[in-house]
Chain A
Amino acid sequence: MAGGISTALGAKSVRSGQKVNGATQESPWVRRLIIGTGLFYFALFLLLPLGSVFVEAFRKGLDVYLAALMDPDALSAIKLTLIVAVISVPLNLVFGVAAAWAITKFNFPGKRILITMIDLPFSVSPVIAGLIFVLVFGAQGWFGSWFLDNDVKIIFAIPGILLATIFVTFPFVARELIPLMEAQGKEEEEAAIVLGARGWQVFRFVTLPNILWGVIYGVVLCNARAMGEFGAVSVVSGHIRGETNSMPLHVEILYNEYNFAAAFAVASLLAILALLTLLIKTFVEWKAAKVNSELKEG
């Protein structure tokens, strides 16, 4: 009889799996309901919109798709978006590293406030981000008349787009690096200095290798937002075709002209950029987790 019981038990434990034990597990139908609900929500609100971008982009065939991308206005929008990203991302990278260094390696009064200030652009509506630059540099703004007299255009021109983009992408790198460098402490830097390393060497040989993945992570997110920003740029751009239209603005114009296939074609490029961003992000996370577990084992 005992034998019968133990085989029954053995069979049961195989069914119920190893990782989670009976004490902390929901019944199978609850589990299925939770997974089902979660995936339905995910599919309806996330997967469906993503899929629709690509389906709509190719609805009228590959020729229309390519033509939309080769259109001179589209090309100039792509160029503008790249220029903006190439300038704004490095600036915010330098800022992010400097801010993280000052905040995590030193103690000074007002540190908490500084961290909150750095986060500010995240809590400001993109439209307001655009508005503030109009208020500063617009025709009636603080410096507006001076710029007007000297024939320098900021608003409704590329500098305005740049400024608004830098503003909205301002916190990305710093925000990624501050917690990371905080967790790493400053012992290694101090050790390097005791061993005779100088300022730049400390950063180059000790700090940078430790934060490299965090830097990449921040840069990738910063870049995605810089290329995709719509609201803030829309306010300061002036929507001049072929001149101050970035890719997202070009999508809007095409869409409003009922040129849906072309709008979705340009949008699909941005969607691919987003997917690439997520891919790199996942890779970086995987890499960081691997490094972490190796450190723990070693």
Chain B
Amino acid sequence: MYDVAIIGCGVIGSSIAYRLSGFDLKTVVLEKENDVAMGATRANSAIVHAGYDPAEGTLMAKLNVRSVDLTKELCEKLSVPYAQIGSLVLAFSDEESAHVQRLYDRGVANGVPGLKILSYSEAKAIEPNIADNVTSALYAPTAAVINPWEYALALAETAVVNGVELRLESPVDAIVKTDAGYAVTAGGETIEAKYVINAAGTEAGLIHDMVLPHTFDILPNKGEYYLLDKSEGTRAKHVVFQCPSKVGKGVLVSPTVHGNLIVGPNAVDCAAGDTSTSADDLAFVRKMAAKSIPSVDFRQNIRNFAGVRPNSTIDDFIIEAHDGFFDVAGIKSPGLASAAGIAEYVENLMRENGVALEKKADAVDTREQIRFKEMSHEERAELVKKDPTFGRVICRCETITEGEIVDAIRRPIVPRTVDAIKRRCCAGMGRCQGGFCGPRVVEILARELGCSRQDIDKDKTGSYIVRERED
């Protein structure tokens, strides 16, 4: 009998698992994919929004603003890449300048610190590549960029260190109310838990409907992106947004925490799990980005991708308790930015609903990560002397050593795929996109996991890479 079963191990499930792992609870996380952070968490703009966008009085506004500091603190503790670079919302007309003013007022009402409205020349001074027809801009110094999947991984990994059980490839098929709580059938096994937390992202509507009357729909909505080479990484210095308009919420241009440039997203309704890109949509993204920063060089593109937002029919996050079943659903933008606050909110909601939360004495709340590339010459020399596997560079583009890959494999949440390695230590994330290091990563994975190279998948289960040669 578990105390808590969390369904879904994206950034929301991970944040809640991390938070609850500090208490004396027996917790299990049920994730349908073969790794954590496989949904919206791994494909988004990777931004900790400042919090001026959500309407005053909403949970989104409250939790986003609350999470700005919490996220920063967590990233420090868990060694997650984070950079507070600030954001700009550009206006291109008097009408849009009025909208920027409204965003400013809303931000002030939401409690966002440090907001400023800049003239064109003030904006140009801090963001030199913006278009000439910018009329004004909202500057939010507390906005940050982050590595979202490493954030979720770090949270989940630390939760596992604290005794939380993570079951991968365990899609939930049924949930039945019992006298003691709930019986949850996932991946062919049924477990019992006193409390169930629904953090299932785009599937949260289906999970809700297994237990409760239908009250909301999840409306999956796709955003497509360009990720440009580091040679374009300084094209923008801040997260550069546009005002939302009739043709969409606006495309952003931003440096990533890794030093690349991210451009996107558009917004189109789609089926859950549809992360395909289309030529027309990508052309739209290019056109919109050029409006903010005309000089973006799309020839430096290294990857296109799409992520699916779990939008819903409710115009706010859906975080509610019903007899031991907790919905944490419809966590659309600013979901990543609000994750830390959502976990805190859920903890309080659990207390209010009579869940006993006793601090666990030996819980850890920090994590270390070795990053060879970021070390000084002296530190590198020391590290290689101690462990020669750090002397072999596997991913040339990102300078990732064999030692870092082996370290990732020996962590509490074992990566089994090439993309899982990429999410943990950035091997294959660079300009050659795994062309060189892919075969070597496959070899290291097979060696460390004691399987054959044919058993190694690229991403989802079944995405095999190579097959035996036939005689």
Co-assembled chains A and B: no
Interface residues of A (CB under 8 A from B): none
